[in-house]
Amino acid sequence: MSIALVDYGAGNLTSVLKAFRAVGADVRLVSQVSELEGARAIVVPGVGHFSVTASLGLDWHTTIRGALDRRIPLLGICVGLQWLFEGSSESPGTPGLGVIKGRCFRLEGDVKVPHVGWNGLDRTTRPSRLLDEVPTGSSAYFTHSYAAPVVEETAAATTHALPFSSVVERDLVFGAQFHPEKSGRTGLRMVENFLRVVREAR
């Protein structure tokens, strides 16, 4: 039984695989919905355009929602976090999984977009297992142009002209807008925290 890292054509997954393996996870790439069977956790990564998530069609939605019902933890990274929401103005016709209410929007203001580099995680009052031993203000590596709104599930927010959700968490649904696999010790800590959630979910 292993963690399924969903490979749906949204960029390169070498770094994500390396980070999970570095903290001792048994992780495998999954490109067919049928291969999710038996997974102890599901990780949806992603870079680039929200429209790429269209290849995670209705069958993926149904299977992943079913897995959540069976207490299988779900982690979305970058576009994967945005996909947890209902949709994005980047690709209005592409529905997200919709397990968190709200729509993603383009960052804009007197700043450069894309938002590239290290920025701080401002923890909210919401308790978070993903952020266990990650103090508020910790730096994480971001690279994105669209972002998710700050909502009830927001465990950490970050501001780049506009505030957005950098970590969301509700029960077994987790999301990180930054790249934990590229965020040094802080990022590896979050991957470890997710592994602990996976171990304790059964």
User: Could you give the CA distance from residue 15 to residue 137 in angstroms, rounded to a whole number?
Assistant: 24
User: Among residues 52 and 67, whose Cβ is nearest to another protein?
Assistant: 52
CA 159 to chain centre: 18
Query: Would you tell me the crossing angle of helices 14-22 and 184-200 to the nearest 10 degrees?
Result: 70
133: its two tokens = 């031993």
- Interacting positions 18-77 with another protein (CB under 8 A): 18-19, 22, 47-49
CB 7 to another protein: min, Å: 13
Report CA torsion sign: 41, 118, 149, 126: positive
User: Could you give the CA distance from residue 51 to residue 90 in angstroms, rounded to a whole number?
Assistant: 7
| Catalytically annotated residue among 90, 169, 179, 192 | 179
CA 92 to chain centre: 20
State yes or no: is 104 an active-site residue.
no
- End-to-end C-alpha distance for the chain, whole angstroms: 12
Residue 156 engages another protein in binding (rule: CB under 8 A): no
* Contact call for residues 121 and 94 (beta carbons, < 8 A): no
CB 132 to another protein: min, Å: 16
Among 37, 114, 152, 199, binds another protein (CB under 8 A): 114
Phi then psi dihedrals of residue 28, to 5 deg = -135, 150
Among 24, 37, 111, 127, binds another protein (CB under 8 A): 111
Q: Which stretch binds another protein (CB under 8 A): 64-72, 95-103, 114-122, 170-178?
A: 114-122
| Catalytically annotated residue among 169, 181, 192, 200 | 181
Q: Which stretch binds another protein (CB under 8 A): 15-23, 32-40, 61-69, 169-177?
A: 15-23
**Which parts of this chain interact with another protein (CB under 8 A)?**
10-12, 14-15, 18-19, 22, 47-49, 111-120, 137-139, 141, 143-144, 159-160, 181-188
Residues taking part in catalysis: 78, 179, 181
